[in-house]
Amino acid sequence: MTAAIDLFSVVAIGAGVFFFFAGAVGLLRFPDSLTRLHALSKADNLGLGLVVLGLLSRSGSLQEALKLVVVWALVQISGAAASQMIGRALRLEGTRK
């Protein structure tokens, strides 16, 4: 049973790190600010989400697990709002030029 849990953690965390990698690559290589913003939010949601998922199975108590989920939820909310604001700033910048 422990081996199955460990395997799940490894797969989930590995996928999470992959999404961070994808987000960084997107940030560096995409041609346009708005497309880079898109890449960024993928890393925020999926990267951290998968890492938290993998760590949930290792947490020792309900309180620890809840804390992990709260951290992820906070990053989700604030990341979403920040992405909207950055997007609007980019659009205004584009029309001002």
Partner 1 sequence: MTLLSILDIGLAAIVLGVAAWTVLARDTFGAVVGYVAYGLLVSIVWVRLYAPDVALTEAAIGSGVTGVLLITAATRLSGNRTEADRGLSIKVPAALLSLLVTATLAAAVLLLPDNAPSLAPAADQGLAATGLGNPVTAVLIAYRSFDTMLEKIVLVLAVVGVWSVAPDRFWGGAPAPLGRPAPQGDLVLLAKALTPIGILVGLHMFWVGADEPGGAFQSGAILAAMWIVVMMARMAGPPRINARWLRLTLVAGPAVFLAVGLAGPRMAGAFFAYPVSVAKPIIIVIEAFMVLTIAATLPMLVAGPPSRKSAP
Partner 2 sequence: MNDFLLAAAGLTLLTVAVGLARVLYGPGEADRIMAAQLFGTGGIAALLLIASAASAPVPGVEDVALGVALLAAFVSIAFVNAAGGASESPGGGD
Shortest reach from residue 78's CB to partner 1, in Å: 6
Nearer to partner 2, 1 or 92 (CB): 92
Q: Is 34 in the site for partner 1 (CB under 8 A)?
A: no
Q: Which of 21, 85, 91, 93 binds partner 1 (CB under 8 A)?
A: 85
| Residues 6+ positions from 24 with CB-CB distance below 8 Å | 43
Q: Is 88 in the site for partner 1 (CB under 8 A)?
A: yes
